[in-house]
Amino acid sequence: MNHQTDQAENGVMTLPQCANADGQLPSCAPLANPYVPFQQTGADLYTASCALIRGTLFPGLDLPYGGQENTQEKLATASVELQQMGFALQELALYLDTHAEDTEAAQLFNQYVELYQQAIDNDGISSELYYNLGNAFFRQGKLGKAIINYERALKIDPSNSDAETNLNFVKTRITDAPEDDSSFLSNLHSSIVSTFSPDAWAWLTFLVFLVLCGTIALYIFSGNIMLRKTGFFGGFVVLIIFVYLLVVSSQTARAPFTHDTAVVIVPTTNLSSTPRTPKNKTEKTVSIHEGTKVEIVDSVTPDDPVAGKWYDVKINNSTRAWVNAADVEKI
């Protein structure tokens, strides 16, 4: 293969700039030297659907086979569209890590975030989808939105360790650091719940139920006194375990559909003692900031249409106040 080289003034051989998508082995890449493809600022991009097939959003990285192994188009289903947009978001996020000055790529990233959010709202939920969306919002600097989606991911699958890690990291970046006033037993329960996914808890509960049935049968039908004692006391222990697992399974199954908590999504919002915006400037108010998590106790819509909807919230399991519903978003 022939390669064109330019002779620099200092005697050092330099290579011409590789064009975007220059073939399986670009002519600008000398055979005797290693060639590392990279994303070039302002380069053309594949569409999201094509990127998922090619394995990259950037034609310049489509090496060494140029997508020849993946030529079959995927079916245009809702699931595939979510995969396509999720993959494009990940690719753009990695690109923007090293090309922050590329405003067109940043705008495209923001567009994909909006489309991804709409697709999730319309076509269903999953822990991985919310995790990806949380990552996208974090890159945009929207910490409140990022926390909401990481929390949603964990509600669907408490064992999603990536979402938990990112959630804990984002919490270190918010103004109002959350106070952990949970008891030892509460923390232990949360730790146990996060061990498995909801489906795994359901199967474990079913298996323990079968064991419980076995111990009951052993107590009723066994003619051996020792086996009957084993069935009685063993059944009592298994019954306690079964009841606890039943509670955990029910809790994890209902969690995605329970919306009794919310997160502040605006930079700052003022709490009020009544469901209205304080009109008196001398009225003492307390401010909370983006990313703060609140527990919703009640809601009300005042007669004044301008006032909008308000939530009666509890903060850190102690402070009670009213907050404008437009300033928070339910998890």
- Confirm if 67 and 53 have CB atoms less than 8 A apart: yes
Q: Residue 279 has what pLDDT?
A: 61
Would you give the distance in Å from CA 66 to the centre of its chain? 32
The Cα–Cα gap between 308 and 131 comes to: 31
Q: Provide DSSP, 68-90.
A: TT--SPPP--HHHHHHHHHHHHH
What integer best gives the mean pLDDT of the chain?
80
pLDDT one-digit tens code per residue, 40-78: 666 678 787 777 777 777 777 765 555 555 555 655 566
pLDDT one-digit tens code per residue, 285-297: 688 999 999 999 9
**Which comes out higher in pLDDT, residue 300 or 267?**
267
Q: Residue 62 has what pLDDT?
A: 66
The Cα–Cα gap between 88 and 168 comes to: 25
Length of the chain: 331
- Indicate if the pLDDT at residue 36 is higher than 60: no
Q: Residue 204 has what pLDDT?
A: 95
Q: Residue 243 has what pLDDT?
A: 95
If pLDDT is split at 50, 70 and 90, which confidence band does 330 have? very high
Averaged pLDDT, 136-141: 89
- Indicate if the pLDDT at residue 250 is higher than 80: yes
pLDDT one-digit tens code per residue, 145-183: 999 999 999 998 898 999 999 999 999 999 887 776 667
The Cα–Cα gap between 168 and 147 comes to: 9
pLDDT one-digit tens code per residue, 255-286: 888 888 999 999 999 888 887 766 665 555 68
Q: Residue 272 has what pLDDT?
A: 86
Cβ atoms < 10 Å from Cβ of 164: 17
- Six-digit token pair at 229? 């004692």
The Cα–Cα gap between 276 and 31 comes to: 72
Q: Residue 277 has what pLDDT?
A: 67
Q: List, in sequence order, every residue forming a beta bridge with 271; answer none if it has no partner.
A: 286
**Which comes out higher in pLDDT, residue 190 or 73?**
190
Averaged pLDDT, 182-194: 83
- Confirm if 212 and 204 have CB atoms less than 8 A apart: no
If pLDDT is split at 50, 70 and 90, which confidence band does 206 have? very high
pLDDT one-digit tens code per residue, 82-118: 777 888 888 888 888 888 888 888 888 888 888 888 8
Q: Residue 64 has what pLDDT?
A: 54
Q: Residue 166 has what pLDDT?
A: 94
- Indicate if the pLDDT at residue 205 is higher than 60: yes
Per the rule left: phi > 0, alpha: psi between -120 and 50, beta: everything else, 170 is alpha
